[in-house]
Amino acid sequence: MVRFLPMYQSIRSLRRFPVGMAFCFLLLCLTAVRAQEESYPEHPDSIKKAGIPQGKVEGPFPWESKIYPGTQRNYYLYVPSQYSPSKPACVFVVLDGLGRANEWKLPVVMDNLIASGEMPVTIGIFIEPGVVPAANENAQPRFNRSFEFDGLGDRLAKFLELEMLPHVSKSYALSTDPNDRAIGGASSGAIGAFNVAWERPDLFRRVLSTIGTYVGLRGGDELSTLVRKTEPKPLRIFLQDGDHDLNIYAGDWWVANLQMLSALQYAGYEVEHVWGKGGHNGKQGAAIMPDALRWLWKGHPNPIRPSMPAQARINILLPDQPWELVSQGHQFSDGPAVGPEGEVYFVDVPSNQIFVARDQNGKPDVQIFAKDAGGTSGLMFGPDKKLYACEYNRKRIVRYSMDGTLEVLAENSPCNDLVVYQGGLFYTDPSTKRIFHVGFDGAKKEVDSGISLGNGLIVSPDQTLLHVADSDGRFTYSFQIQSDGSLRYKQEYGYLHTPDATTRSAADGMTMDMNGHLYVATSLGIQILDQPGRVNQILAKPQNAFLSNIAFGGPERDLLYATCGDKVFRRKVNAKGSVSWEKPTKPPKPGL
């Protein structure tokens, strides 16, 4: 009410007027206020200047997409006069085509900033959303704008990566360095631009967002939460919005932009913002465009680097400790397990081999431990210092002495993964949706059934709780372990984030640290849950491949190992792994 107080004082006097007249007066007052709010001076760098070389705008060019089947669209190109085929140009993709670019006066702004050296030589690619033409004259086309821009996931990024950028590159030399690429849009185009860079920072690292639609149209309201939880990415983001933006069934645009800014600041991103009084239009965006682009490209060509989260409740990240390659050239790596000296064993499932990685002068040295391993997928040491293995192809559980001697523990046991603790071991059999307990004497019993696709499993540091991953769902299951190895109090307990296109988490291997935090390998990365079952942090996958399993290793158990596709990686973290084959340890009481 503060900004309307003078008007409110005037309205009080309207009681002596007829209702209709008072209402009309109120509308006139509101219109006048809104008009004043929406008045912005034209930026000097949005005006053509004498002597400044002018680029050319080419198009429209039609495009029919395969990633968005049946869609047709136009795109346009801005090519600065300074462009030379001998030097690949930077790229600025603008969603919503030439109409948005002209609203922002981009051809003139880019002419001026490129000429002044405040923006590199940049080719603009202005892309319209797709439309599936109407089937007949009595039908409507299918308008793909919301589907393409408002939805999460990497489909729009793939459209740019596999279709538009390669196509434009046939005519113009474009840089492939993500540091040389920016993407921007307004409204749905803004969230579309942000999501492209969020999903694929290896493609774009500079984001321009005006009146961004970070609301519940197609799941965009979850983005600010993911920003808070996910390991920071190398992005620079500019936000603009006005406090009279939309407030409708999908959410409040103004509040959503404030939440996005707060999330980016919480996670430590390099972010700038300009807030105004305007509504859902491009007026302020156009007025600030030169300054926004100037900030977006500042310091170029110095690379944009990921930040460190400043306030995370659980933060295991350490500065300058990225993923390090341990081993490569495998067909499918899986089953990491820490040994007595901190060495880590893992398997290559298709080649039927078990490997061991030991440190030699601070570097991993990888050797074959066992051949003809029967399709082993899960490994873990036991309190007897023997390595237990799931031989899935042979449907049995075996254990290895350190000299390689093999002993069969349980036959007729189609085992996918296992966890060994002081009271024996548990294993999952996803083919029958069952979990079994096996004693160290080989005695076996079924202890649960019904999990859709039970996969990885782990016990808590105090060895009283069993956690089980369900690859088909978005929950991990929790059980209380009884003294005889039976399970009680089954609960869908840990809540995981899933990709936009599915409710399937692809949860696989799991591990725990001494604080009782649960680490789950999922399609979104390594999701770290606190004891109450809430994801606090998501670590990036070491490469764009299937993340099968994780384990703590190293002499101090502060190296997090990950088996991911054809490679094995590790990184030093601010946590110490719990080892279930040691004596139980009580974790600290969690914050609730």
> pLDDT-based confidence at 100, cuts 50/70/90?
very high
Average pLDDT over residues 316-324: 94
Neighbours of 237 (CB within 10 A): 24
Fold of 325-572: Neuraminidase (2.120.10)
Pairing of strands 417-421, 406-410: unpaired
Average pLDDT over residues 228-256: 97
In whole angstroms, what is the distance from residue 96 CA to residue 75 CA?
9
pLDDT of residue 37: 58
Q: Is 37 helix (H, G, I), strand (E, B) or coil?
A: helix
> pLDDT-based confidence at 453, cuts 50/70/90?
very high
Do the Cβ atoms of 128 and 73 come closer than 8 Å?
A: yes
pLDDT of residue 586: 97
Give residue 231's identity as a one-letter amino acid code: E
pLDDT digits (tens, 9 = 90+) for 520-565: 999 999 999 999 999 999 999 999 999 999 999 999 999 999 999 9
Please spell the DSSP secondary structure of 392-408, one letter per residue: TTTTEEEEE-TT--EEE
CATH superfamily of 44-296: Alpha/Beta hydrolase fold, catalytic domain (3.40.50.1820)
Average pLDDT over residues 314-325: 93
In whole angstroms, what is the distance from residue 555 CA to residue 362 CA?
11
pLDDT of residue 362: 84
Token readout for 585 is 């340890």
- Would you kindly state where each structural domain of the chain is located, as residue ranges? 2-37, 44-296, 325-572
Average pLDDT over residues 411-430: 97
In whole angstroms, what is the distance from residue 445 CA to residue 435 CA?
9
pLDDT digits (tens, 9 = 90+) for 254-302: 999 999 999 999 999 999 999 999 999 999 999 999 999 999 999 999 9
**Predicted confidence (pLDDT) at residue 360 exceeds the cutoff of 80:** yes
pLDDT of residue 500: 85
Give residue 127's identity as a one-letter amino acid code: I
> pLDDT-based confidence at 4, cuts 50/70/90?
very low
Contacts 24+ apart (CB under 8 A), 175-178: 175/88, 175/89, 175/90, 175/91, 176/88, 178/202, 178/203, 178/204, 178/205, 178/234
In whole angstroms, what is the distance from residue 253 CA to residue 216 CA?
10
pLDDT of residue 315: 85
pLDDT of residue 503: 87
In whole angstroms, what is the distance from residue 269 CA to residue 234 CA?
8
Mean pLDDT of the chain: 93
pLDDT digits (tens, 9 = 90+) for 54-91: 999 999 999 999 999 999 999 999 999 999 999 999 99
> Of 23-27, 233-237, 582-586, where does mean pLDDT reach its minimum?
23-27
Token readout for 565 is 């596709």
Q: What residues contact 478, with CB distance under 8 A and at least 6 apart? A: 465, 466, 467, 468, 489, 490, 491, 493, 494, 533
Decide whether 44-296 matches 325-572 in CATH topology: no
Average pLDDT over residues 122-143: 98
Phi–psi pair at 482, nearest 5 degrees? -90, 165
DSSP 153: S
Average pLDDT over residues 305-328: 88
pTM, full prediction: 0.90
**Predicted confidence (pLDDT) at residue 8 exceeds the cutoff of 70:** no
Do the Cβ atoms of 199 and 183 come closer than 8 Å?
A: no
Do the Cβ atoms of 149 and 500 come closer than 8 Å?
A: no
End-to-end distance of the chain based on CA atoms, in angstroms?
37
Q: Is the peptide bond before 532 cis (omega within 30 degrees of 0)?
A: no
Helical pair 106-116 and 283-296, crossing angle rounded to 10 deg: 30
Nearest of 53, 49, 47, 51 to residue 78 by alpha carbon: 53
Contacts 24+ apart (CB under 8 A), 407-412: 409/438, 409/440, 409/442, 410/438, 410/442, 410/444
In whole angstroms, what is the distance from residue 263 CA to residue 252 CA?
16
Helix (DSSP H) and strand (DSSP E) numbers for the chain: 11, 36
Distances (CA, A) of 422 to 439, 469, 580: 10, 21, 7
pLDDT of residue 420: 98
Nearest of 95, 119, 99, 100 to residue 109 by alpha carbon: 119
> Of 38-42, 143-147, 184-188, 354-358, where does mean pLDDT reach its minimum?
38-42
pLDDT digits (tens, 9 = 90+) for 333-350: 999 999 999 999 999 999
Block residue for tokens 């709780």? 465
Average pLDDT over residues 159-174: 98
Average pLDDT over residues 496-518: 94
pLDDT of residue 318: 94
